[in-house]
Structures are given as C-alpha cells and as structure tokens.
Amino acid sequence: MEKAGASIGDLLKVTKNGFTYKGVLMPRSEYADDAHIVLKLKSGYNIGIRVTPDITVERLGEAEKPAFRPPPPPKGREGLPRVSIVSTGGTIASRVDYRTGAVHPALSARDLYSVVPELSEMANIEADILFSLYSENITPSHWSQIARRVAEHIRRGAEGVVVAHGTDTMGYTAAALSFSLRGLPCPVILVGSQRSSDRPSSDAALNLIGAVTAAVKAPFAEVVVAMHEDTSDRAVLLHRGTKVRKCHTSGRWAFRSVNSKPLARVVEGRVEMILDDYRPRGEGELQVLDGFEERVSLLKFHPGFNPSLIDWLVDEGYRGIVLEGTGLGHVGRYCYDALRRAIREGVLVFMTSQCIWGRVNMNVYDTGRDLLAIGVVPLEDMLPETALVKLMWVLGQTDDPEEAVRLMRKNIAHEISPRTGYGVSFVG
Amino acid sequence: MEKAGASIGDLLKVTKNGFTYKGVLMPRSEYADDAHIVLKLKSGYNIGIRVTPDITVERLGEAEKPAFRPPPPPKGREGLPRVSIVSTGGTIASRVDYRTGAVHPALSARDLYSVVPELSEMANIEADILFSLYSENITPSHWSQIARRVAEHIRRGAEGVVVAHGTDTMGYTAAALSFSLRGLPCPVILVGSQRSSDRPSSDAALNLIGAVTAAVKAPFAEVVVAMHEDTSDRAVLLHRGTKVRKCHTSGRWAFRSVNSKPLARVVEGRVEMILDDYRPRGEGELQVLDGFEERVSLLKFHPGFNPSLIDWLVDEGYRGIVLEGTGLGHVGRYCYDALRRAIREGVLVFMTSQCIWGRVNMNVYDTGRDLLAIGVVPLEDMLPETALVKLMWVLGQTDDPEEAVRLMRKNIAHEISPRTGYGVSFVG
C-alpha cells in the first residue's frame, strides 16, 4: 500500500488472482481489518479485498470527489416519472466524506445522484429532508408528520414516494403509514440500509435503486419496505408494511416478512410480484388519518412478570395494552386480577404472541379461554409491533371502545393473514 | 363411518389409495374437521386420513385401553440405563382418555409406557410428577424446585434426566436450569409437545422418544431442549438451553436455536453431534445454585415507550432491568434521563436486541455510545429471554454489583456465542 503511494480517496487498480478491480480507496472502518483493502467501485458498491503476497496495487490518480461530481444534465429527464424521496434520517440518508470518513446527511437530489448515479436515469427525483433522526428517536408524532408529508408529495404529482428511514424502527413506521394513508393512488416505499456506504458490502445503493425502481414501476399502491433479499446483491424484497420486522441486528437481509410472503421483489430492474392480491395503482382518493394515541403500551409477558405494572398503566390513564403473551396467547394466572381491573376501567387489552411466527388461538387451553372470558381480545397472526401501532392509530380515530375493538379485529392493511394452515415461514 | 359401526376407541382397518392403515379411532378435535378420520397407529403416532369416496373402513374390534395395558415385563430391564422423567405439566405430560377425549396427567411410568411403549426398551424409567402446571404459570421459584428435583434424581443414580414441560415458557426454564445446575455429570433434557396426543400429527411420542434417547446416549452433560426438527417425523433437535426460543405458536418445529446451531440431533435412535465443543458426561461435581431474584424486569422498547415505566421499576425496588432495544442496541433519547437515574440508584441495566437474531454493538452509532456512557451494559448476542433469566440468577447469587456485571458478561452456559461474522442463522 505504502509502496504504491496510495492514500484514502485515490483511484486504484488492484490485481489479485488474475482479477482486476478499479475503484476509490476507502477509509478503514471497524468492519475492515488491516488485512483488507476496501474499494468503492464505479457501480457504487464497496468491496473488500484481502491483502495477500500476490496482490498488486497501482495508483491511477486522485479520485473525483463525489460531493463535487456535477449532477447529470437535465435534458431527457422531463419524460421520466416523478418520484419524491422524503428523508427522515438513518444510515441510508447519509453520505460519507471519502477523505475524513465522517457521515453527513445527503441533502439534495444532487447529493443523491452523486452517491447513486443510476437514479438520474430512472426518475426525476425531488429530494426532501423532513428530519435527520436516528430511528430510535422517531415517535408517533413523527409518524403523523411523515404521513402528511408523503401525502403532500403525492398530491403535488409524485408517482411514487420513497421514505428514507433508519432501520431500527422502520417496521413500526411502515405499519403506521400503512394504517394512516388510506386510498393511496401510488406506492410508498420505505428504505434503509444496514451498513453505511463507507463500509465494505454496504447495502445503501442497491436498496435505494430497488426502492426507486419500485416507486416507478410497481403495479401496487401500498406501503412497503424495500431491503436486500439475502447476502448477494441480486434482489431487493418489497415487504408489506404491516407484516415486516427487523430480524437481525446487522445482516443486510435483516428485514423479513412474518406470517406472509413478501409482496414483491425487485430484480434486474423489474418488479416481480410474489403475492397477487394487492391494491392497484391509480385508484381511490388519498386521505390522511394521522392521529395516534400514545397512551398505549406493548407489554412482553415473562416468568416473574409483575402484574402491578398493568395496574400502573391503568393509574397513568393508559387507554390500550397489547400483550406479547406466550405460545398461543397466554399469560400467567397471577396476571388475571390486574387484567380484570384494567378492562373494568375501560382499558382495551389485546393479545399477540412473543413467538413472533404463527397465530394466537385462545380456545385451545383453559388459560386462553379464561383470558377471553376476562375480555382480552386475540389478534390472530398480527405482529406485536404492528398491533401496538394499530392500537395507537385506532384510538387516534375513535373514542368508542366497541368501534375500536371492531377496527382492531378488522383487516385494514393486510395486517391479518387468512388462515392457511401451518405454512413454514422460516427455516433455520 | 356409521356404516362400519365404528366408534371412538375402536380398532379400525382403513383402506385408501391402495394403502391400509390399522389403528385406534380417535375423537375429533378442533384440529380434525369432519372430512378426516384420525387414527392412532401402533407406533404411537396419529395420522389424519381424508374421507373420500374410495375409502373403506372395517371395524376390527374394540381397542385395548391404553390405561389398562399391562406394563412390559420387568425382566431384562435391570440392565437398561436409569433415566428419570420429572414432569412439570404441559401437553407432553398428559394422556388422553380415548373414550371422552379428556386430557389427564400421565402419572406413572406405567402410563408413560402405555402411551409410548418404545420407552420400556430404552431405559429403566422413573417417572416423577413434580407439578401439573401450564408453563405460563411457572415462576422463578418453580425453576428452583425443578433444579433441586433434577439434582436429587442425578444424585440417586439417574444417568440422564428428562423434564417434561409446557412449551410456552420452556425456553426460559431451560435457561434457568442451564445456569443453576453447575458441574452436571449427565444430560438434562427438557421436552414438550406442541400438539397433544389426541390430535393428528401429535409430536408427543417422537419428542419423548428423542428426549429419552438423548438422556441415555448423548455424550454431553448439558441442559438442552428436545423438539421436532421439522414437519417430518424424522429427527428431534437438541437445542442448548440458553440459545433456544419458541419461534412459532403452533408448528411442531417451533423451537429454534438462535445465534447458534443446535447442539445435536436424534435421528434413527442415534445422537448425532452438530457442535463439537461441549461439556462431556461424567465430569465435575453437581452443585445446585438455585436462587433467583424476581425484582428483575424485561422491557421491550418501542416508539412511544414511556420512560416513567423505568422510574416506576426503580421506585418498586427493582434490582435489574434487561432492555430489549432496537437494532444494534438502542432506545430513544427520551429514555436517557430515566436510565441515568436508575443506574445512579444502583439498578443494573443491560442491553439486548428485539431483532432476536444478531449481536448488539453499541459502538457503531452515537446512541449506542451514549448509552454505554450512561452505564448500560451490552450483552453480545444473548437472547433477551436468556438475559432476563441470567440476571435473575446472577442477582440471586451475589449482592455485589461489580461481580454481577462481571458474571453477566462472562460466558457461563454458552449463552454468548463467539463472534463468527454475519452467519445466516435463519432463512425465510
């Protein structure tokens, strides 16, 4: 490395095992050890190359600084579909300074084009920075703001909207948009990245290209999450916003559809539908129902769970509780009195399962039947996280408890799958 | 059916598609609709046969009542290994009355042999009813009782102990036994069933045979969970007690090893090791460390999470909190003050991830570094449920906070996997 006189930001030609790689030398990050060189290829992808005795490195010059790369000429872009990218923060919405390794928000369409040049060929993009938040700091009031901003872009003529979002709570926001954007005429695609673009094997470029492809070409008008299918760079999956969950802390394939197949996938620039029962583009009148009640709690039951916690929520004026029970939808008998009191005082209590996969069924064992008798309402195969968001949304729409229970049990945005037996939804 | 004059409990010969099935007619359950006949075969397995026009049913007589089947003659059993089955309740520990369909606890070794006759060829079994509890009612004080009873059986000469347990909280109990039984000289196998033996495709017999096979033949002396590998009846997986989770409400393959491969599998009467780094049989001196501190809580963070809940736990005198954070181990910034106060007042706070798969890494983003600075301790790739049980156990062993943190970070029963990169631990 030193021999070649190369430094961070230089354009290099690296030859190894008969293969030649041309790209910009990236700073080492915690994911790249001393034994690897990390190059950003022209395609936008980063690769790590192991340093072995047979490697040769040639410095071709200083790389063009991406931040200063001129945007593509505007000619020809008039005919392209209009896509808005609403940025809320997170790794996907950042741009790396190749010199310092520091991460900055990608502020403009120009920035986006400079990081992922392919975008300029695909759509006429309007970039809109709504917030710059790590997604663990996103709250229900942010969901409302995102819903309203997305609707604004659609009303102004966007043919698809991409929402760049941190991955930590992207599943929760996807559910919130699924419920609050009624009568959607076009797709709304949430996208994130698990590794920022200064790391080898960053997923930012592929996910963003997949999201914009879906915004332009998808035949459906639903809220989905666009993320890597697997460890290859072949495809991006489009998961329904109510059925998706981040199931790995760091893998690029972390987002999985639970109790459902993904809705579609983007592969080689095409959108391939996996499910065929979807809301088509172009129909309906957009309506934003963006009220969320925050006095709703998700409680995960565990051995030794303290039922006084339920009493505390009642005393604090909570209006709804989603239980993450065990198995088919159970909690210990020692919680019954607290649940009885909560329900007597008007708190709505619903049951989901901490198993994550599968459906609650409270008719199999006495425990389940007792809970039904107390007034706990089972939520079929709804994800606990989706159930929480839905209950916040439902109690934001109505003050009538019977109507709230009816809405919770009603399938509004594919959050409840039809019963199809015990399909294997994961293997491992 | 009526034509053949058959009624529940009769021995039938059913012919369909050229295949002949002989077995005892079982009562219809909620899992068997009118279009199926359910037969219990001689092997102990149940099958559901779809009623089609080409089916023929012949009544062979009244079946022998399993409850009255004489136990196998004692001769020859003296040479068999001694295995104890400690029953705590749950579907696996029940026996169906073939006449009424009611479920009773299987009380004696004789009952077990009558339900699963193969057991008498495998081991000299001592059956011991400790409780008859649905596992959602099992609490940390039950874990202590189970640990002490298992130890008693080992000290009296059992060469392996099987613990029959409801599946709902079997993962938590498996973790509790993994920590509290130190210096184990033989395997301890928890076993459950997802469908009771009156249902088509019950997994009770295969799981119990697999568990007893492991108790007799496994070369390891660890606590594991024995459950169906997949939808076939081919193999039973042996999952480490600290790395296993019920990941489906009803599937027979619901139990999965997370962030680890299963330790071994039982197939065709043999135990095949999958991992080779295990504690061997026969070593060490058994010690029961069965104290569990119940003032420990597992809190799942979510958007809109109320940090006053943390204050409430502090006010209630809680000694430990395990956070199920988002992604690599984050919670919203609006929780920091409450966490600071909790830690200042001596509450130990640990971080796991609600992603379930993967490892927390609080050095990647500011949020994580802030939480480390506040004093939140990351727990690598430990399951949230295992972390909860371990913290209850650690605080049951020591009052010294530094020692408690040291023990939480120390690998005691394989609850922390070595870093091996981003291995795909599930696909779906």
In which order are the strands placed within the sheet that holds B348-353?
B296-300, B320-325, B348-353, B377-378
Name the more confident of B388 and A34.
B388
Catalytic, A410? Answer: no
Q: Does domain B10-62 have CATH number 2.30.30.520?
A: yes
% residues pLDDT > 70 (chain B): 85
The answer, for A103 touching chain B at a CB cutoff of 8 Å, is no
Q: Which among A257, A355, A364 is the nearest to B254, CB-wise?
A: A355
Q: What is the pLDDT of residue A196?
A: 67
Least confident of A255-259, A361-365, B153-157, B254-258: A361-365
CA distance, residue B225 to nearest chain A CA (Å): 16
Q: What is the pLDDT along chain A (428 residues), one digit of tens a residue?
A: 555 677 777 888 888 777 777 887 776 543 445 567 777 776 555 667 777 778 888 888 876 554 434 444 444 466 899 999 999 987 777 765 544 455 566 667 777 787 788 899 999 999 999 988 999 999 999 999 999 999 999 999 999 999 999 999 999 999 999 999 999 999 999 999 887 665 666 788 899 999 999 999 999 999 999 999 987 788 999 999 999 999 999 988 899 999 999 999 999 999 999 999 999 999 779 999 999 999 999 999 999 999 999 999 999 999 999 999 999 999 999 999 999 999 999 999 999 999 999 999 988 777 888 999 999 999 999 999 999 999 999 999 999 999 999 999 999 999 999 875 444 344 33
What CATH number was assigned to the domain covering residues A66-288? 3.40.50.1170
Q: Which residue of A has its CA nearest to B142?
A: A303
Q: Which residues of B form the catalytic set? A: 91, 167-168, 246
Distance, in Å, from the CA atom of B93 to the CA atom of A145, rounded to the nearest integer, reads 53
CA distance, residue A297 to nearest chain B CA (Å): 7
Q: What is the pLDDT of residue A200?
A: 61
In chain B, residues under CATH classification 3.40.50.40 are 296-409
CB B229 within 8 A of CB B235: yes
Residue B196 has pLDDT above 60, yes or no: yes
Q: What is the pLDDT of residue A96?
A: 54
Q: Among A40, A217, A243, A246, which one carries the catalytic annotation?
A: A246
Least confident of A91-95, A126-130, B265-269, B342-346: A91-95
% residues pLDDT > 90 (chain B): 63
Q: Which residue of A has its CA nearest to B175?
A: A303
CA distance, residue A73 to nearest chain B CA (Å): 36
Report CA torsion sign: A400, A404, A405, A407.
positive
ipTM above 0.85, yes or no: no
In chain B, residues under CATH classification 2.30.30.520 are 10-62
CB B111 within 8 A of CB B197: no
Distance, in Å, from the CA atom of B87 to the CA atom of B89, rounded to the nearest integer, reads 6
What CATH number was assigned to the domain covering residues A296-409? 3.40.50.40
Q: What is the pLDDT of residue B31?
A: 40
Helices (DSSP H) in A181-291: which residue ranges? Answer: 204-217
pLDDT tier for residue B74 given thresholds of 50, 70 and 90: very low
Interface test mutation site (partner B, options A31, A103, A136, A260, max chain B beta carbons within 10 A): A136
Which A positions 182-221 lie with beta carbon below 8 A of chain B? Answer: none
In chain A, residues under CATH classification 3.40.50.1170 are 66-288
Q: Which among A30, A304, A333 is the nearest to B140, CB-wise?
A: A304
Tally the residues of chain A. 428
Residue B422 has pLDDT above 50, yes or no: no
Average pLDDT, stretch B14-22?
A: 78
Distance, in Å, from the CA atom of B360 to the CA atom of B381, rounded to the nearest integer, reads 6
pLDDT tier for residue B324 given thresholds of 50, 70 and 90: very high
CA distance, residue A426 to nearest chain B CA (Å): 4
Name the more confident of B338 and A97.
B338
pLDDT tier for residue B60 given thresholds of 50, 70 and 90: confident
Residue B19 has pLDDT above 90, yes or no: no
Least confident of A115-124, B304-313, B335-344: A115-124
